Amino acid sequence: MTRTNKINKKLENKYKKIKKKIDCSKYIETCKAECCGIVPIPLDIFEKHKEKIGNYKILPSPIVDVVIPVNNFTGKCAFLDENCKCAIYEHRPGVCKLQGNIMEMPCPYRS
């Protein structure tokens, strides 16, 4: 297991323990998934799901097993679809799962 995979696993475990998780579907019309900007994706997740996306470029990453795929038109994460939904929602990286769920990564829309 690479260092990136270990970190991702740790974040996912942290997410699993959160009791009251944010329901982004309640806010998506307003927030337009503004947190899904330029997000590093672990290479194994990217490789497994890259066929779900198109019109993207890969930004340079200082870490070898992390990919930063960006939609050519929106400049946002390539996994974000035109309806502001994540194409890999169930499999999204731990860092995405924690967004809006921990103090260090607050969501201004959460009520």
The answer to the question of residue 46 lying near ligand SF4 (CB under 6 A) is no
Question: Which of residues 4, 8, 35, 71 is near ligand SF4 by CB under 6 A?
Answer: 35
Give DSSP secondary structure letters for 22-58.
--GGGTHHHHTTTT-SS--EEHHHHHHHGGG--SEEE
The answer to the question of residue 70 lying near ligand SF4 (CB under 6 A) is no
Share in percent of the chain as helix, strand, coil (round to 5): 35, 15, 50
Rounded distance between C-alpha atoms, residue 15 and residue 71, angstroms? 26
* Structure tokens, 24: 């982004």
Q: Given the rule CB under 6 A, which of 6-14, 56-64, 75-83 is the region that contacts ligand SF4?
A: 75-83
| Binding residues with ligand SF4: total (CB under 6 A) | 21
Residues within the interface to ligand SF4 (CB under 6 A): 22, 24, 27-28, 31, 33-36, 39, 77, 79-80, 86, 88, 92, 96, 99-100, 107, 109
